[in-house]
Amino acid sequence: TMWVERTYYIISEKLPGTLRWFEVITSTTEELSPIQTAIENMEDINRKLKNIIIQHQEEPALQVNPLSGLLNSVIDSAVMGGPVIYEQAFCSNEYAQTHSGDQIHISRLKELFAEQIPLVEVGLGIHRRKATEMLKPLQNKMEEMFQRRKSLVEEKYGKKVWIFLDYFAYG
């Protein structure tokens, strides 16, 4: 299961300090359910996509390899699990019926799937322009897989537009 337990500590002094340890004043523990963990992961992935797109727009000479890896992990669920696995686990009618208290989380996850599509589209456009001949087969594979995913996501969860889409796609 993907339950996450996170503990936060408040200590007596600021870090870094001269001592090797500090007294813990209070601690708080929170548990994240599997769907909350999936939402957090999706938000993190979308944030990484936005950041790498902005970096490539601001610094055109950046290497394309980190973008390749990130896009491939998002598009090809066999690589890192990815959104497809979350969708299968949490967006089925069966899950919704057995976890009626998770409706707000299910809605948020679906929204994140839809928000990811224009980000990946812009990222693929940047990758296409920067891809070397050696990366062309990967580019073609990612574009083919993405088109299938895009159609499914837009049909199920609606179409989202990233506000900076035109700037990054054509800028």
Asked if the structure places residue 70 within a domain, the reply is yes
What total of structural domains would you count in the chain? Answer: 1
Asked if the structure places residue 7 within a domain, the reply is no
pLDDT, one tens digit per residue, over 148-171 is 999 999 999 999 887 665 444 444
CATH number of the domain that residue 131 is part of: 1.20.58.740
Asked if the structure places residue 114 within a domain, the reply is yes
pLDDT, one tens digit per residue, over 43-89 is 999 999 999 999 998 998 999 999 999 999 999 876 556 788 899 99
Asked if the structure places residue 13 within a domain, the reply is no
Residue pair 52/67 in contact (Cβ under 8 Å)? The answer is yes
Asked if the structure places residue 119 within a domain, the reply is yes
When the pLDDT of each residue in the chain is averaged and rounded to a whole number, the result is 91
> What residue type is 13 in one-letter code?
E
CA distance 120 to 125: 9
Asked if the structure places residue 20 within a domain, the reply is no
Asked if the structure places residue 19 within a domain, the reply is no
Residue 131, classed as helix, strand or coil, is coil
Could you identify the residue written with the tokens 């940047």?
126
CA distances from 112 to 21, 47, 103, 133 (A): 40, 11, 14, 33
Asked if the structure places residue 23 within a domain, the reply is no
Phi-psi region of 82 (alpha: psi -120 to 50; beta: other; left: phi over 0): left
The domain of 65 spans 33-170
Does residue 111 register a pLDDT over 90?
yes
Does residue 7 register a pLDDT over 90?
yes
Share of residues in the chain with pLDDT > 70 (%): 91
pLDDT bin (cut points 50, 70, 90) of residue 97 is very high
